[in-house]
Amino acid sequence: MLIENVLGAAEALFTLQTMGLMVLGVAAGLIAGAIPGFTITMAIVLTLPFTYAMEPIQGLATMLGVFVGGLSGGLMAGILTGIPGTPSSVATTFDGFPMARKGRPGLALGIGVWSSFFGGVISAVLLMTLAPQLARVGLEFGPWDFFALVLFALTITASLSGDNLVKGLIAGAMGLLVATVGSDEINGVERFSFGFEPLEQGFSFLPVLVGLFAFSQLLSDVQDPVRARQPLMPPGAKAVRIEHAKAIREVLSRWGNLLRSSLIGVFTGILPAAGGSISNILAYDQAKKASKRPQDFGTGIPDGIIAPEAANNATAGGALITMMALGIPGDIVTAIMLGALLIHDVIPSPTFITDSPTLAYGIFMAFFFANFIMLGLQAVCLRAFVMVTRMRMYVLTGVILAYCGIGIFALNNIVFDMWTLLIFGVLGLAMKVLGFPLAPMILGVVLGHIAELNLNRALSTSDDLSLFFTRPWALFFLILAAYSSVFPWFQKDRGKKRWTLWFLPAMSISMAPPLFLMGGVVRPVIGGLLLAVGAYLLWGHARNGWRLKPVAEHDVHLEET
């Protein structure tokens, strides 16, 4: 069965046209990822209109190429100029730039490229093995569980999106509200159209997304008139020869760090809404903690490049696991991919992998091979990147704004979609200026329909609201949602206030009861392990006399990848 699926997917994927599109996608991603202020999400958004006319597998393979290329492209700018190309490569600059300044830019780039490659390949393997298993678990979910999962996704996005949890939650609720405008999917009743005809069908999902994200991002980029007229990067970036052989030896000799960082990346990606911007910092901190010479971090050592680069590429696989297995986007990029799938009438859900094996395995394989293409194109794109850095931001902005308009019009051939783009662009910029994070709102728009549909199904099946607390998976996600709501305070007070010593043990212990309720053998064993971990953490704190320890200096915040 597996071989059949793989062969079927290979037949669809390995055509000259699809491979050519993937090469173009990876090249575009590498260059876009290397430009500071031009995020991977923006590159994916710009690719999307070209995929409307493609077969679903072609469109997704192209976008995956952009995704993988973008994650790896950020390291070029970070290492050569010290300015990270994307938030996913912030930690790469901590050691990559010092190594380049010490006269080893080729080695630094090589280590970054090969760590990205190995991180991507490890996560691709995990994607292929874990996604079908998670989908099987997803088949157990009832509407109560899905509804609780959406709540968890929204609370964790809000809590990771900035210092102000309330603003994050308001943004999430606004997103859910936007999704209710127009004809109700279940009863076909019009809502919040206020007699305005174009609103009767509601807002299309993609114009809202592109407006909130890309339009507002472009306007932020040109807000400073002086910087808008300067080249994208200060002079200093120049193409260098990548030292592949030495880099491979350096990376493989530190396989422990590589594996740990890749796993951190994958599991951060699986977490709804957490992306590469978080995983690269987490992996760097863990590598530093695990190192015998932590004082060397920041001076230009290979471990400091391996950890963030392996983690940020591995995050992509993790995010795809959640999207493909549960239909819940792992981050904004996968939210857009979800939109692309919906355009082709493919609805990701726990049955997606079994119902559309060719497409599902095609996505697995495309992600796997995109990493190889990235490896081959890195040197070519390095030269292109050096040329692109001479461009002015205002030129890019003007051209891309027009392009966004054409792309969005092409979606439904409706001019109102372009107005939607403008309105949500204004809203997105206003929200940014006022300190409201955009990620929860985008997730709210994407997940609103799923939440409503499942709430409706749940209440239609039974009016017993206690089912949200008595069904094991629903309870599990609600417990996670509750802890994720407290997370911003935990992050703020960690190492300063004593209550934070209870946070992780309490979370670990509270997650165990739902797992016991699930029955079987594996889950109660995991529940038992969680109880043991919680007890061990408490014992450790008690042994230290409940003393507070200083914490790592890098805070974890979600930024658009």
Partner 1 sequence: MGRIDRDVVIAVVLVVFTAVFYGATYGIRKTVYGTVGSEVWPRAILIALGTLCLIYLINSWRDRHETQGPRRGGGLRGWFSTYRNALLCFVMYALFLATLDYLGMLIGGILFVFLLLNLLGGWSPRRLAIHGAIAVSTMGAMWAVFTFGLRVFLPEGEILRIW
List residues near partner 1 by CB under 8 A: 49-50, 52-53, 166-167, 169-170, 173-174, 176-177, 180, 184, 186-187, 189-192, 194, 218-220, 222-225, 228-229, 392, 394-395, 397-399, 401-403, 405-406, 409-410, 413, 415, 418-419, 422, 425-426, 429, 434, 451-452, 455-456, 459-460
Rounded Cα distance between 157 and 444, Å, is 10
**In the complex, minimum distance from the CB of residue 225 to partner 1, in angstroms, rounded to a whole number:** 6
**In the complex, minimum distance from the CB of residue 23 to partner 1, in angstroms, rounded to a whole number:** 18
- H helical segments located in 54-142: 56-81, 92-101, 105-138
Rounded to the nearest 10 degrees, what angle do helices 56-81 and 302-326 cross at? 160
Q: Is 406 exposed, middle or buried (0-12, 13-18, 19+ CB in 10 A)?
A: exposed
- On whether the CB atoms of residues 440 and 157 are closer than 8 A, the answer is yes
Rounded Cα distance between 198 and 20, Å, is 39
**In the complex, minimum distance from the CB of residue 100 to partner 1, in angstroms, rounded to a whole number:** 32
**In the complex, minimum distance from the CB of residue 183 to partner 1, in angstroms, rounded to a whole number:** 9
Q: Which candidate, 120, 377, 126, 370, places its Cα nearest to that of 258?
A: 120
Rounded Cα distance between 296 and 301, Å, is 7
466: tokens are 């206690």
137: tokens are 């678990």
Rounded Cα distance between 334 and 345, Å, is 16
Q: How far is C-alpha 102 from the chain's CA centre?
A: 33
Q: Which candidate, 161, 149, 148, places its Cα nearest to that of 487?
A: 161
Beta strands in 442-545 (DSSP E): none
Rounded Cα distance between 126 and 559, Å, is 25
Rounded Cα distance between 378 and 243, Å, is 12
536: tokens are 């061990």
Whose Cβ is closer to partner 1: residue 372's or residue 403's? 403
**In the complex, minimum distance from the CB of residue 230 to partner 1, in angstroms, rounded to a whole number:** 11
**In the complex, minimum distance from the CB of residue 411 to partner 1, in angstroms, rounded to a whole number:** 9
**In the complex, minimum distance from the CB of residue 237 to partner 1, in angstroms, rounded to a whole number:** 22
Whose Cβ is closer to partner 1: residue 225's or residue 519's? 225
**In the complex, minimum distance from the CB of residue 215 to partner 1, in angstroms, rounded to a whole number:** 8
Q: C-alpha distances in angstroms, 450 versus 131, 176, 179, 342, 444?
A: 20, 10, 10, 13, 10
Whose Cβ is closer to partner 1: residue 397's or residue 510's? 397
Q: Which helix H or strand E contains 183, and what residues bound it?
A: strand 182-183
Whose Cβ is closer to partner 1: residue 299's or residue 460's? 460
**In the complex, minimum distance from the CB of residue 226 to partner 1, in angstroms, rounded to a whole number:** 11
Whose Cβ is closer to partner 1: residue 295's or residue 413's? 413
DSSP summary character for residue 190: E
**In the complex, minimum distance from the CB of residue 553 to partner 1, in angstroms, rounded to a whole number:** 24
- On whether the CB atoms of residues 261 and 311 are closer than 8 A, the answer is yes
- Phi, psi dihedrals of residue 392, rounded to the nearest 5°: -95, 145
Whose Cβ is closer to partner 1: residue 435's or residue 540's? 435
Whose Cβ is closer to partner 1: residue 201's or residue 354's? 201
Whose Cβ is closer to partner 1: residue 11's or residue 184's? 184
Paired residues of 231 in beta bridges: 392
Whose Cβ is closer to partner 1: residue 131's or residue 478's? 478
Whose Cβ is closer to partner 1: residue 201's or residue 220's? 220
Rounded Cα distance between 561 and 41, Å, is 6
Residue with tokens 């606004």, as numbered in its chain: 174
**In the complex, minimum distance from the CB of residue 34 to partner 1, in angstroms, rounded to a whole number:** 20
Whose Cβ is closer to partner 1: residue 74's or residue 162's? 162
Q: Which candidate, 348, 370, 246, places its Cα nearest to that of 302?
A: 246
Whose Cβ is closer to partner 1: residue 356's or residue 389's? 389
Residue with tokens 């996600």, as numbered in its chain: 477
**In the complex, minimum distance from the CB of residue 112 to partner 1, in angstroms, rounded to a whole number:** 32
The residue type found at 477 is F
Rounded Cα distance between 365 and 369, Å, is 6
Whose Cβ is closer to partner 1: residue 187's or residue 466's? 187
Q: C-alpha distances in angstroms, 408 versus 59, 175, 211, 403, 416?
A: 16, 20, 10, 8, 10
The residue type found at 502 is W
Q: Which candidate, 485, 490, 488, places its Cα nearest to that of 504?
A: 490
**In the complex, minimum distance from the CB of residue 173 to partner 1, in angstroms, rounded to a whole number:** 4
